[in-house]
Structure 1
Amino acid sequence: MNRPAAQAATRFDPATVARAFVDARRAAAALPEFPGPLPADMAAGYRVQDIAIGLWPDEVVGWKVGKIPEHLQAELGAERVMGPVFARNVWQADGSAPTRLPVIAGGFAAVEGEYVYRIGADAPADKLDWTPEEALGLVETMLVGVEFAASPLATINVLGPRVVASDFGNNAGLVLGRAVPDWKNTPAPACEAYVEDKLVGRGSPDSLPGGPAGSLAFLAAACARRGRPLKRGQLVTTGAASGIHDIEAGQSARITFGDLDEIRCVAVAARPAQGGEGNP
């Protein structure tokens, strides 16, 4: 008589996975392991993500894009992975004080130097294929920024892109820096990332496959196919140009973009959410 219950416990259940990730993020509590069997493919990971977006008490104001390792792209049928950015997890960099990044003890946390687009027009909901040139036609502004990649699951990247998709694309926030002047005609400056004043990575827009516009074209198509076409005012953070750099509570980071900007951050211990608030 216990056999059906045992079988149910070993079956992948997107709603159960979504609830576990959302509850852990809101409680600022680490997950010791993935909550159940792993998603079989990227579509299963995105089913979890869609349910979790519905559970999260905040508005989606943008999206992150990440590169899938080349050795997994053929198996997964995808080159990139996406995840939502929520309104309360967007911060404007302040030159007078570092941005505080809430890290869940026992989870995963990292900073990434990125190039960010602000969308200036709604994308047609029925347009499912985009070229980089077409996608750039949606853009109002390019900015520099820092993605705060974080999850209650320490092994999220080890377990791979299907799991990354399940937990908001491993996104926990976005720090916005300055706009890139004349971005359509002038290349954005290269970036360097420092953790505890040690250089840990550097890159440029060319570090991303197809450049930031390639990431945007992927995202415009992927959002439309998920019934979530890009909207005016949304932010798109296009990939870890500097690489992915682990950070722990108490550590500081700074990401420089040539003479344009320096964004400073400090990792702090995450606290449980109160009321209708969310944690990253």
Structure 2
Amino acid sequence: MSATQAIAEAFTTARAAGRAIDAYPGTPPATLAEAYAIQAAAIARWPDAVKGWKVARVNPAFAAQFPEERLIGPAFAPNVHSVAAGAEAICPVFEGGFAAVEAEVVIVVAEDQPAGKADWTADTVAPLVKSMHIGVEVASSPLATLNDIGPGAVISDFGNNWGVVVGAEIANWQSLETIDVETFIDGQSVGVGKVAIKPGPLGALAFTLNKRAEQGQTLKAGDVISTGMITGVHDIRIGQRSRHVFAGVGEVNVQITRAVGR
């Protein structure tokens, strides 16, 4: 078995069992190509359909080694949670692994991406936005130190994603420049931020379209794109609840549970 396949097998086996691992299972990928090769191998091993993608910024400290502004990871259909106003999404994380919540804007893709087109920008992607929503990414990995190792490790393990929560629609997004956001965990404020619609969510969608085209793949109508953290990455424990308030739009509520084996 190749190193790529061995790493993919270790992470997917741990995720399927709902258990943590103590260390990175091999040598962390040193390049974007290596990292995405492991991610592709892991996706091929996972039984669920990909329903969308999470997007995150590459930490500037790693920019020389991983020279792209963003990274992506798959969101699988069972981990995409649509939640009505006032309701609570129930989201699992890996006990003993990494677990965090991130307030994000989520885009639902309007139509299949034209094959071969890889020159999208924040100025040209609006026709591919079916709707824009307030939401949350639930980041979780069997490896507690995944983020600390760097973007290559994050990419290799499904982008450290284990959930995308799709909340209320931002009906007037085309007329908005920014939205103020605050995150609470168990009632305590843990972070505030402001999302700029064009460079943020629309830029993340453009990046994802271009990355998938580079990989010889396309986004499909109905795919969800979780477009990047707004108030920060907030560690969370099993049993805790988070509330994410998007000023003038609404809020998203999440309860964290323990991931169990398949």
TM-score by length of 2: 0.95
Give the Cα separation in 2 of the matches to 1:14 and 1:111: 28
Give the Cα separation in 1 of the matches to 2:47 and 2:194: 34
What is the CA deviation profile of residues 46-91 of structure 1, one whole-angstrom value per residue up to 9, with x for unaligned ones?
1011011111111111111000111211221111110011111011
Q: Structure 1: where are the runs of 5+ without partners?
A: 1-7, 274-280
> 1:4 matched to which residue of 2?
none
171, 176, 191: which one aligns with 2:181: 191
> 2:247 matched to which residue of 1?
258
Q: Residue 128 of structure 1 contacts residue 221 of structure 1 at CA under 8 Å; is this kept in 2?
A: yes
Q: Kindly provide the amino acid, as one letter, of the partner of residue 158 in structure 1.
A: D
205, 226, 245: which one aligns with 1:216: 205
Q: Note the C-alpha offset of 1:22.
A: 0.6
Q: Kindly provide the amino acid, as one letter, of the partner of residue 203 in structure 1.
A: G
Give the Cα separation in 2 of the matches to 1:182 and 1:98: 24
Q: Note the C-alpha offset of 1:94.
A: 4.0
User: How is 1:110-259 mapped onto 2 (pairs within 5 angstroms)?
Assistant: 110-187=100-177, 189-206=179-196, 210-259=199-248
> 1:25 matched to which residue of 2?
15
Q: Kindly provide the amino acid, as one letter, of the partner of residue 217 in structure 1.
A: A
SS at match of 1:219: helix
Q: Residue 52 of structure 2 contacts residue 224 of structure 2 at CA under 8 Å; is this kept in 1?
A: yes
Q: Residue 127 of structure 1 contacts residue 221 of structure 1 at CA under 8 Å; is this kept in 2?
A: yes
- 2:31 paired with 1:41: yes
Q: Residue 180 of structure 1 contacts residue 188 of structure 1 at CA under 8 Å; is this kept in 2?
A: no
- Identity percentage of aligned residues: 40
SS at match of 2:68: coil
SS at match of 2:138: strand
Q: Note the C-alpha offset of 1:96.
A: 5.0
Give the Cα separation in 2 of the matches to 1:236 and 1:96: 22
CA RMSD of aligned residues (A): 1.6
> 1:55 matched to which residue of 2?
45
Q: Residue 22 of structure 1 contacts residue 55 of structure 1 at CA under 8 Å; is this kept in 2?
A: yes
- 2:82 paired with 1:82: no
Give the Cα separation in 1 of the matches to 2:225 and 2:231: 16
TM-score by length of 1: 0.89
Q: Note the C-alpha offset of 1:209.
A: 9.1
SS at match of 2:55: strand
Q: Note the C-alpha offset of 1:236.
A: 0.7
> 1:101 matched to which residue of 2?
91
SS at match of 1:76: coil
Q: Find the structure with the greater CA-based Rg.
A: 1
Q: Residue 156 of structure 1 contacts residue 164 of structure 1 at CA under 8 Å; is this kept in 2?
A: yes
Q: Structure 2: where are the runs of 5+ without partners?
A: none
13, 18, 24: which one aligns with 2:3: 13
